[in-house]
Amino acid sequence: MPTPLETASALSAADIQSVSPALGRYGKEDVASLWQRPQLSRRDRSLVTVAILIARNQTLDLPPYINLALDSGVTPRELSETITHLAFYSGWSNAMAAVAATKDIFAQRRIGPDQLPAASPQLLPLNEQAEATRVASVQRLLGTAAPGLDQYTTDPLFRDVWLRPDLSPRDRSLVTITSLMANGQVAQLAGHLNRALDNGLTQEQAGEVVTQIAFYAGWPNAFSAGPVVAEVLKGRSN
């Protein structure tokens, strides 16, 4: 079976070989072995990689990885929602770049409006206790310094975006922690990782996201995230 590096790249093996034979070797040996690791399914690994590329606005390889994600079981609805979600976690312009990179693939695959999420669907029920804890945390963090940020964090982010039904809470958390790790934004990682574990992500899967980050967002970002993940997992085990 071809490796994801060979099937999900804007560059051919010959292109890579013409510039960096060593990079070609590491791709065939190490990136290929990464994608065979069982700690994340091919579907989850594809979703994580797409989220990394969106979060870092690295759109050269985004179309082939969108195709790989669709071939690996990620639905058009889930990809659409991932782009929407990451507009709030990696910035509006990154989401617009992801739309530009994805629209032709959807057209080629004849993915139409009937396969995409509604603009305003029936939302999932709100966990009132968790929301009250979040609100209190934001108020402690911001005080009265940024009332607009406080307002928009409540609605639309946590009382709308997070409750949209076409991306599960577990997957929404997965792409969120991926975005934070990919951009080295670890200040909120512990809180979102705990939410991810509460939403059904396993500790093993959380650790494997860090490994995927190393290859697709760089070792420094992985090692910035790793100690935070280790501390959260240690706390959950006590």
Sign of the CA dihedral with 222 first, then 3, 10, and 46 last: negative
Tokens 């990154």 locate to 94
pLDDT at 113: 97
pLDDT in tens, 44-85: 999 999 999 999 999 999 999 999 999 999 999 999 999 999
pLDDT in tens, 116-143: 999 999 999 999 999 999 999 999 999 9
The answer to whether the pTM exceeds 0.85 is: yes
Please tell me what DSSP assigns to residue 41.
Answer: -
pLDDT at 1: 42
Confidence label for 8 from pLDDT (cuts 50, 70 and 90): low
pLDDT at 4: 55
Long-range contacts from 70-73, C-beta under 8 angstroms, 24+ separation: 70/105, 70/109, 72/41, 72/42, 72/43, 72/45, 72/46, 73/41, 73/42, 73/43
